[in-house]
Structure 1
Amino acid sequence: MHSGLAKTRLDRMHDVLAGHVERGELPGLVTLVARHGETHVDVLGKQAVDGVSMQRETIFRISSMTKPVTAVGAMILVEECRLRLDDPVDDLLPELADRRVLTSIDAPLDDTVPARRAITLRDLLTFRLGFGQLTAAGEVPPILRAAEEAQVAVGPPAPANVPGPDEWLRRLGELPLMYQPGERWLYHTGADLLGVLISRATGQSLQGFLRERLFEPLGMRDTHFGVPPYKASRFATSYWMDGVVYDEPDGQWAEVPEFQSGGGGLVSTVDDYLAFGSMLLHKGKHGGERILARPTVELMTTDQLTAAQKAASGFFPGYFDSRGWGFGMSVVTARTDIAAVPGTFGWDGGLGTSWLTDPSEDLVALMFSQRAGFPQFSPHFRDFWTGVYQAIDD
């Protein structure tokens, strides 16, 4: 079957993205567009500013694109009846039992009331557990200062600086929740808790479980929480948005950390993540392997948030006007631009990566770069997504 993508329009996307590289806005990138069984890959620039050429097999830190992977891992256990969506997580995560909740976000840490109910697995998957990223305007609230001091605050991935899972959870458990469970969407922390929950439920490390149940069945050979020395020559240098080096190939990902972050710790390649995105496109199947049942994938990719929860989220202004949140990933709910097709799902990585699966167009698309950024602020993200959809020619 023909991909329905026009070569002249794919060339246009190449030229636009090459312009970003030639102007020095980022060292390089790899793009992949798969439609109707055909895959188009474009490789631009270098792995580092003064480094070797970028290649299709270059390994990138995918940061928050780890979240959908961790969510799939949790749902594998739900399907096996080893976890249940609406059961409290207290048995496996006793550190989260009997929560106290701040009376207001800027209250002292001891100004609390009891949680109205326990935290559930569904709360972790939908980021409604009552603890997560705060975008503080003005004076920093005491809870945020305390979370930063305890090394449990939300920030860029830093695997070498995070305590082991038991100690991390102990510290988190000593802090009150920011909001009542189920009250609002707060980014990130739920995914890290999911990783600890999976590890305790299975008796395996998060990496061990994901490798056995997801990466090996999908053929994701380069997706790990660390990069061994023999792969280091394919590992891109990571840069901040201002071009300052964030991490070198022999830096924080040079070995698998004790805390394997379900919220942001993985590295991967475009072809590895294509296998993951295609599995979800095909409702849980990849080749002859069934990872999840079709109804499970449909649940994961359905918006789970109420209008009130979206309004209270404090995320990028206007973000939830056209999007919702499923399990570990964003879901498009309204058509507001060329690349916002309702039913599309995916997520981005703050260190420079982006993924969407669009069932209505039979499409999986990926852009992996090594310069930190988000679609809301980074022109190469926006130009890539415009480029993908303007290339459709059927």
Structure 2
Amino acid sequence: MPTNSDAGGLSGSRLGRMHEILSGHVEHGGVPGLVALVSRRGEIHVDVMGSMAIGGTPMQRDSIFRIASMTKPVTAVAAMILVEECKLRLDDPVDDFLPELADRKVLRAIDAAIDDTVPAKRAITLRDLLTFRLGLGMIAIFPDRYPIQKAIAEAGFAPGPVFPSFPPDELMRRYGTLPLIYQPGERWLYNSGSEILSVLIARVAGMSLAKFLGDRIFAPLGMKDTGFHVPKEKRDRLTTAYARDQASGELKVFDDPATGKYASPPVFENGAAGLVSTADDFNAFAQMMLNGGRLGSERILSRPSVELMASDQLTSEHKQGSELFFGDNRGWGFGVSVFTRRDDLADTPGRFGWYGGYGTSWYSDPSEGLTGIVLTQRMMESPQPPRVMTDFWTSTYQAIDD
């Protein structure tokens, strides 16, 4: 049942409505379980329901979830730490640290043969990586139609729930074999920017991405259960991940806590999709962002850096071909989606955050002083959020009581 409600401008009775709505999704088998957290003005409401696995032990507040693409904002913060230290600069080429991306060739057209290219008009910059305008990424056309889509799949970067598991240098070698799909800065393409940032951050910092995130973000914020794998002593808190079987419609195990890919440190610490976390851990990160880079006495970033990250960096031209991710009311900042127009309860301008394809969602809303996090263990089936998530966000905003 709900905890710590009734304050912070949230209605206790309407949070009870949220509980009933979310319980319905669990009871009808939409998700095996979930943890939902709403924070406003220092008050926290948490709902825990269902089980960690189908027929398994009850879900707990500190259950650990695979947060997939909710990793991207964390990686962007890490990059901005290095910008603030002047170890990286937003508009400098990344060639010195990522020589695999130097002297790129660009497809003459998206449907061109792989070797039908022209020279890149300029080098790829850190800003391109953060805003996903580097010229590499997911083409949102299914099934595959173009030669470059086949080449991307053969290189090991096909869109889907199984992420690359190459050592960092091999990952960059493979990216270096691909022509750019668009000129640097021209179009937004999902995902690859964060994967490449993983390698850039580690090379610039002179340490693994896991250590950098641990030292500079997780430890200062008290995010004790967040990382790229789950140690054995915590594995009983890792939920089982499920995907819907296309033939039967039933939920099937996608990743098992004991034998799955999070049971040991990964070959590639994937800053696009590799983290696990808990609701309270991620809320610490979210509150840091909502507070302009500070949580308590710990400052991770300056307020101007957070404001830059949470500002829409795209034009309508940048979004062409990837409208599935944006609709007509969203843009993209540095590692986060940013709402630009209100056309629903929760879609307030300036609200920022992102989803995780394994069944998670986070957004923070500066205008309302509000953060919401919902963690499930059922894989999303498209970039459009499932009903349990849309109902969570509707329920969150209808509970505002001032």
Q: TM-score scaled to structure 1, two decimals?
A: 0.97
In structure 2, the partner of 1:285 is 294
Q: What's the Cα RMSD here? A: 1.3
Q: What's the CA shift for 1:313?
A: 3.6
1:180 aligns to 2:187 (yes or no):
no
Q: Which residue does 1:189 correspond to in 2?
A: 192
Structure 1 alignment gaps of length 5 or more: none
Structure 1 equivalent of residue 134 of structure 2 = 129
- TM superposition shift of 1:309: 1.1
Amino acid in the other structure paired with 1:330: S
Q: CA deviation at 1:137?
A: 4.2
Residues 43 and 288 of structure 1: CA distance in aligned 2, closer, same or farther (over 3 Å): same
Pick from 325, 340, 350 the counterpart of residue 343 of structure 1.
350
Q: Where do 5+ consecutive residues of structure 2 fail to align?
A: 1-5, 246-250
Aligned-residue offset at 1:108: 1.1
Counterpart in 1 of 2:64?
A: 59
CA-CA distance at 1:379 after TM superposition? 0.8
Structure 1 runs of 4+ aligned residues shifted over 4 Å read none
Identity of aligned residues (%): 58
* Counterpart code for 2:280: D
Distance in 2, matches of 1:142 and 1:257, equals 30
Mean alpha-carbon deviation: is it higher for 367-376 or for 381-390? 367-376
Task: Give the direction of change, closer, same or farther, for the CA distance of 1:232–1:100 in structure 2 (3 Å limit).
Answer: same
Are positions 1:208 and 2:211 aligned together?
yes
Match of 1:379 among 369, 376, 387: 387
Residue 162 (structure 1) shift: 1.4
8 Å contact from structure 1 (residues 218, 276) kept in 2: yes
Do residues 141 (structure 1) and 165 (structure 2) align?
A: no
Distance across 1 between alignment mates of 2:110 and 2:10: 49
Partners of 1:139 and 1:89 in 2: how far apart?
30
Match of 1:364 in 2: 371
**Residue type of the alignment partner of 1:276:** F
Report the number of matched residues: 390
Residue type of the alignment partner of 1:282 = N
Separation (CA, whole Å) in 2 of partners of 1:176 and 1:72: 28
The answer to whether the 8 A contact 1:59-1:269 is kept is yes
Contact 1:195–1:260 (8 Å) recurs in 2:
yes
> For residue 261 of structure 2, what is the aligned residue in structure 1?
252
Shift of 1:156: 1.7
* 2:223 equivalent to 1:220: yes
- For the pair 1:168 / 2:176, whether they are aligned, the reply is no
Preserved contact between residue 225 and residue 278 of structure 2 (Cα < 8 Å): yes
**Counterpart code for 2:274:** G
Q: Which amino acid aligns with 1:75?
A: M
Shift of 1:144: 1.4
Counterparts of 1:223-372 in structure 2, within 5 Å, are: 223-242=226-245, 243-250=251-258, 251-310=260-319, 312-316=320-324, 319-372=326-379
State the shift of 1:148 in Å.
1.2
Distance 1:154 1:139 in 2: 10
User: Deviation per CA, 1:245-302, whole angstroms, max 9, x where unpaired?
Assistant: 1101021111111211110000000000000000011000011011001111111100
1:139 Cα deviation after fit: 5.1
Q: 1:38 aligns with which of 33, 37, 43?
A: 43
Corresponding residue for 1:11?
Answer: 16
Is residue 107–residue 142 contact of structure 1 (8 Å, CA) maintained in 2? yes
For residues 12-31 of structure 1, the C-alpha deviation after alignment (integer angstroms, 9 at most, x for no partner) is 01001101100111100000
- Helix, strand or coil: the match of 1:244? strand
Match of 1:56, SS state, is coil
Q: For the residues of structure 1 that align with 2:354 and 2:143, how far apart are their CA atoms?
A: 29
Of 53, 71, 76, the residue aligned with 1:48 is 53
CA distance in 2: counterparts of 1:82 and 1:102, whole angstroms? 32
**In structure 1, distance between residues paired with 2:169 and 2:212:** 17
Work out whether residues 37 and 46 of structure 2, in 8 Å CA contact, stay in contact via their aligned partners in 1. yes
CA distance in structure 2 between the aligned counterparts of 1:89 and 1:386, rounded to whole angstroms: 41
8 Å Cα contact 2:324-2:383 kept in structure 1: no
Q: Which residue identity is paired with 1:346?
A: G
Gap change, CA 1:60 and 1:30, over 3 Å in 2: same
> How far has the Cα of 1:50 moved from its partner?
1.7
- 1:69 equivalent to 2:78? Answer no
User: Tell me, what secondary structure is at the counterpart of 1:11?
Assistant: helix
Q: Which residue of 1 aligns with 2:248?
A: none
CA contact (8 A) 1:157 1:264 kept: no
CA contact (8 A) 1:132 1:153 kept: no
2:144 and 2:150 in contact (8 A); partners too: no
Secondary structure in 1 matching 2:289? helix
Distance 2:368 2:383 in 1: 21
